[in-house]
Amino acid sequence: MAQAKLAENVVITRSKGGIAKLDDLAIIRVTGEDATSYLQGRTSNDVNALNPGQGQLTSLLHRKGHVLALFSLHKLNRGGVVEYLIVCDRTQVERIVQELETYLFRERVQFGDVTSLFRVWTVQGALSASVLQECGWNADLPDEYSCHFDENSARYTINKTLTGENGFVLLLPENDNAEAQEEDLRTSADRAGLAMLTPCDLETLRIEAGIPMFGREVSEQFLLPETALESVAASYNKGCFQGQEVLARIKTYGAPKQALVGIIFRTEVESAFRQDSLMVINGQEVGVIKSNVFSPSRNCHVALTYIAREYRIPGVQMSFRVVPPGTAVQNAPDPIYDAVVAFLPLYTPESNKERAKRLYDSALAEFAGGSEAKSIEMLRHVVECDPHFADAYESLGVILSRQNQLDEAIALMHRLAELDPLSIMAHANLSLYYMQLNEIEKAEEEKAIAMSIRMSQIAREVVSKKREEEERQQKAAVAQERIDMFQQVLNIDEHDLLANYGMGSALADLGKPAEAVPFLAKAIQVKPGHTVAWLALGKAFEDLADVDRAIQTYEQGIATAAKRGDITPMNEMKARMVELRQRTSTKA
């Protein structure tokens, strides 16, 4: 029964959303004149790059690159005073404060665990923003880890996914009004059909989304590059920080021996494996299971696992035994499990924009079929998912005006104009609707605004085209200079790696992909592990409209990058390959 409820909550969260109170999340406040410079020197990410209202995933590292703590950091400006919030699980608080205080000498910085001052909630999923807006929270936080402090209510809103879906962490001040605010959240969430999530629900959603957690997938045992978080939690341009030299060496000279990946089981698993169970093939340990669960979204068992370099290629089939922690490898028991290595996340939720586009197309189909009422309902949901979807506003406004619901149509266009002050469509439609109400003066005013915006738009387009042409010419001149330089090197040594890659990249920049291909292929021949060359070669085949060779190149490049642990080029090749396959299947 509990398993069925868990599956139901996961499905609801993936389609609508979920809400939960977070008793295990902690908040550390960092203040003081030297807070920014001190955090810049201690954490792995670039704190100096943050503006107030922004945030980042970051870590504290051992001098040998091992992860001492993992958390999100959020910068705010409260009345001219800079404040940072560290959001982490409660088990990390003591270690984080201890690590920060250890290296504090004359810096004017204060740290404090302020968890007890708040009630911490989360709302996750497609309808999370609309639920918050209904309760008066600021949900206009477009970037992951961005944050907002409301001066009137003393509430904090943080854009932070715990499930892979769009989501928020909410800090309600512990005061006489806290219970009423909690009740508002629960009521709004219930009205929207959101699931009330348990810790087990959140854990299942987390594992599906491939989000590493400190104390599970991340600990002092592992180097940051092994955790699959290096590309988002570390900056190589910020200057020195503890552990930076180790990370730089790994990035320059090769991949770590193990790395965190996903495993999708093809064999039925009766119950979850214990954390740190070993994966054994032919008597040899090849991996260690950190978290695992039955995934309702994939309808099979999945795991987050550290796997040896030679096996961490997406799509690789594996057959292995599972040995409980503390058991000798040679005593590996039956059965043998079949599984496939997979990219993280193991489940990729539909983005709000994708969901909005799908619903929009369905709404238009309903309208074409004569069901205007259902079309209106669906279009209202579209603008909840994507408040900036201009076509949805126009379609909804047109249908509402057909049904003589002009007040709502006008309110809709005013909302669009507030979200996008340069929307010609909003003011043009307002002019039509006011004309239908015989409010001629307002209609003429909106028409004039639409015309003014259009004239300004034309002027900007002219300036933009001129700027683009100047940039194109400048880029071509720089590319030609690079070509001349690389050609000199190739005249001396035709096997020079950087000259071949550079020549290929420069020719691609000049819009000459056919000429770029031989040089990029040569670079790969010289060094098969040069993953950025695989990426550039795939792009060149794309420019030549050779989709099959582009996909084949990306597949080989992804396998190479996976072995090396080159996350950034691997992810870009994966995204481009997926897009090409989708484009091909759509045409078919």
The secondary element (H helix, E strand) that includes residue 301 is strand 300-308
Distance CA 323, CA 331 (A): 8
The per-residue pLDDT for 587 is: 61
Distance CA 28, CA 99 (A): 13
The per-residue pLDDT for 140 is: 86
The per-residue pLDDT for 352 is: 78
The per-residue pLDDT for 172 is: 96
What is the fold of 352-459?
1.25.40
Burial environment of residue 388 by CB neighbours within 10 A (0 to 12, 13 to 18, 19 or more): middle
Residue carrying structure tokens 């965190």: 260
Indicate the DSSP class of residue 336.
P
Identical fold between 257-349 and 352-459: no
In CATH, what is the architecture of 257-349? Beta Barrel (2.40)
How crowded is residue 527: how many other Cβ atoms within 10 Å of its Cβ? 13
Tell me the domain boundaries of the chain. 2-207, 257-349, 352-459, 493-587
The per-residue pLDDT for 390 is: 86
Distance CA 72, CA 161 (A): 11
Choices 3.40.50.620, 2.40.10.120, 3.30.56.10, 3.30.1360.120: CATH for 2-207: 3.30.1360.120
Name the CATH superfamily for 493-587. Tetratricopeptide repeat domain (1.25.40.10)
388 three-class SS: coil
> Taking the chain (588 residues) in consecutive chunks of 10 residues, what is each chunk's mean pLDDT?
85 95 97 95 95 97 94 93 96 95 90 96 93 91 93 95 95 94 96 96 97 95 91 88 85 78 94 94 94 95 93 89 90 90 86 86 92 90 83 90 90 88 90 92 93 92 90 86 91 93 92 95 94 95 95 92 80 88 71
